[in-house]
Amino acid sequence: MKAVILYGSANDKPFMEPARDYFNHHQIAFEEHVLSAHRDTDALLAWLKDFEAQGAKGVILAVAGLSAALPGLVAVKTSAPVIGVPVPGGPLSGVDALLSIVQCPGGVPCTSVGLHKKAPHNAAMAVHKILRLAGAAD
């Protein structure tokens, strides 16, 4: 099992540096992909289909920027746990991203971390705990 960080925009990569640092420090395998729910919908859906075909062995951190569609769409299309990570920014300082994650409709299990600069670290810690429960991490 591994961690997967999905970005809707490469602009959100610097924000997630603490998560990458955490994974590297704890030797947790991870991969990253930039796949916008709006601009690259077909590519995102193809990646998710392939991920599911491989057995969906991982936990996905879906980074939610301005439109914040990524976490909900990913949660609908995969059986893997999805943790939305709202990015503080834009005209509403990320509140719109947070609400988009936590207000997913019934049947769309998408969790979220808080809206602050420590959110990427908390998200990585949550992934680590899930992987430990699955026996895939120390």
**Integer Cα distance of 124 and 15 in angstroms:** 13
**Yes or no: is domain 2-133 CATH 3.40.50.1970?**
yes
What is the band of 136 on the pLDDT scale with cuts at 50, 70, 90?
low
Domain boundaries, the chain: 2-133
Mean local confidence (pLDDT), 44-70: 92
**Amino acid in position 73:** L
Residue 123 has pLDDT above 80, yes or no: yes
Q: Which residue from 121, 91, 5 is spatially nearest to 113, judged by alpha carbons? A: 121
Q: Which residue from 92, 89, 83, 95 is spatially nearest to 122, judged by alpha carbons? A: 83
What is the band of 75 on the pLDDT scale with cuts at 50, 70, 90?
very high
Mean local confidence (pLDDT), 106-129: 96
pLDDT at 3: 97
pTM for this prediction: 0.94
Mean local confidence (pLDDT), 61-76: 92
Q: Which residue from 116, 95, 128 is spatially nearest to 15, judged by alpha carbons? A: 116
